Structure 1
Amino acid sequence: MEIIKAIVLAIVEGLTEFLPVSSTGHMILTAHLMDFQGEKVKTFEIVVQLGSILAVVVVFWRRILSLIGLNTASSESGGSHLNLLHVVIGMLPASLLGLLIHDFIKKYLFSATTVVLSLVVGGVLMMVAENKKTAVKAATLDQVTYKQALGVGLFQCLALWPGFSRSGATISGGLLLGLSRKTAAEFTFIMAVPIMVAASGLDLYKSWDSLSAADFPMFAAGFVTAFIVALLAIVAFLKLVERVSMTVFAVYRFILAAVYSYFFLF
């Protein structure tokens, strides 16, 4: 039963990690429903996130190689204008703030109640961004400026609140700053690789003593499941993102928050 619960949780992670609906929030709520909780489960959630990150690396491998100078022909214009500095600038605000308030987040924000609240607040931001109708200044990744990268990075700080959604915060920020929806999504995915590897690595290091060899089958099943599901979800989302309004995801968040609150919190 433990492995079955782990696979279910990994499917939820893979499906939601890069959608603007909050994978962390969904995992917390799902684990709560299955009574699958404890320190080992928190560590498991970190491992399956790494599986999802591997899926991003597979999808964007050419672009990622170009960022480190190993592939100079990845951009549409014949040479990559998006560079590693864009990614560093984008990830810096949330990385620094996350280090400062890491313990506070772990202690006070990982509950079903705070997740439900953040689902609602994040949904409101997404609707505001979608209806603002900011003029598009960056239709492709190679048109993203350093200023826009910093702005998206500041919006990413909101995702430190579990349930807010990293992609929801950054895509909304990107729309408000003049990125097209697809460009904002692609920049979000690429920027997520280093920041999630760093954050997950830190959490995994801190939790290492609580693991044993008996946990390997559960963790391996979760990692592989999250990778496969996330790979499919990323490809599907990138095809849909130009046609599907962020309002659709915001409404989903409101419904989820209302249903969960009605049946499980009150």
Structure 2
Amino acid sequence: MSEWQAIILAIVEGLTEFLPVSSTGHMIIASALMGINELPITKIFAVNIQFGAILSVVVLYWKRFLNSFEFYQKLIFAFIPAAVIGFLLNDVIDAMLGSVFITAVMLVAGGVVLLFVDKWFAHAQENKITYKNALVIGFFQCIAMIPGVSRSAASIIGGLTQGINRKAAAEFSFFLAVPTMLAAAGYKLVKDLLKLEISDIVTFDLVKIRNSFDVITADDLRLLLIGNVVAFIVAMIAIRFFINFLTKYGFKMFGYYRIALGIALLALLAMGVDLRV
């Protein structure tokens, strides 16, 4: 993977991670078009540049993260479903992540849902999120373990079902991304890049931990650093754009976009284009 390819992937990640369009689908297309979808570093890179996207949320909403202990309690409530289900179904989730067909189908299905979300939840006007709301949103977020669903879309819709307005639901989705993506990216970093098992860390096996860092090359670190910086900057811009656009226009345009993207993926698969990840 070259620096320019790393920058392009990071831009795609930053633009799509917090929008309800599925960053997974976009990363698949971008890496396939650049011919790097089968490189071992690509999957590791795609997961770990999420750290940059996570940091953008913390920087933009730093006052919220210093607000109160109750804020973190609600995030924990919302994070628990993903932590439990993700741990129990890790192998199933990994298997689905390799299916471009599932990603494409869910892009289309999710797009159809977004066409009607504004009408279905026009009554949602509440801006305060309770512990019960947070837990429900957390369960909705778990639907995004199916590739192509979009973590952002699932969690926002979860908030809307609880009567939360679009702006508050979207912002809580951003906040929930911090522990969720941090856990997922951290786990992948340990497992795929450092080649460690969780047991090695729990038992504090110094030999294995020390040896694992020999697996990382200087080039890997350089690309990851570039990717995280670019993803951080682009994600900050994307979040601001999304909040303003969502407040004014709703979800329908994202729905049409998802449907077009999903159909494009299905067409590429039908033509025999290799989109494996």
* TM-score (normalised: structure 1): 0.88
Letter in 1 for 2:41: K
Query: 1:124 maps to what in 2?
Result: 112
Query: 2:210 maps to what in 1?
Result: none
After TM superposition, the structure 1 = structure 2 runs for residues 89-168 of structure 1, keeping only pairs within 5 Å, are 89-133=77-121, 135-138=123-126, 140=127, 143-168=128-153
Tell me the distance in 2 between the aligned counterparts of 1:130 and 1:39. 40
Alpha-carbon distance, 1:134 to partner:
5.1
Number of residue pairs matched? 250
1:186-214: CA deviation from partner (whole Å, max 9, x where unpaired): 00001110111111101100012453222
Query: 2:258 maps to what in 1?
Result: 253
Misfit runs of 4+, over 3 Å = 263-266
Query: 2:165 maps to what in 1?
Result: 180
Query: 2:205 maps to what in 1?
Result: none
Query: 2:41 maps to what in 1?
Result: 40
Tell me the distance in 2 between the aligned counterparts of 1:19 and 1:201. 22
Query: 1:55 maps to what in 2?
Result: 56
Letter in 2 for 1:86: K
1:80-132: CA deviation from partner (whole Å, max 9, x where unpaired): xx522211111111121111111222123323212101112222332343221
19-28 vs 107-116, which deviates more?
A: 107-116
Tell me the distance in 1 between the aligned counterparts of 2:253 and 2:161. 17
Tell me the distance in 1 between the aligned counterparts of 2:53 and 2:254. 20
Letter in 1 for 2:135: L
9-18 vs 104-113, which deviates more?
A: 104-113
Q: Unaligned stretches of 5+ in structure 1? A: 69-81
Query: 2:203 maps to what in 1?
Result: none
Tell me the distance in 2 between the aligned counterparts of 1:57 and 1:131. 32
Tell me the distance in 2 between the aligned counterparts of 1:155 and 1:44. 27
Letter in 1 for 2:140: F
Q: Does residue 84 of structure 1 match 2:44?
A: no
Alpha-carbon distance, 1:137 to partner:
4.8
SS at match of 2:118: helix
Tell me the distance in 2 between the aligned counterparts of 1:127 and 1:86. 29
Tell me the distance in 2 between the aligned counterparts of 1:2 and 1:251. 33
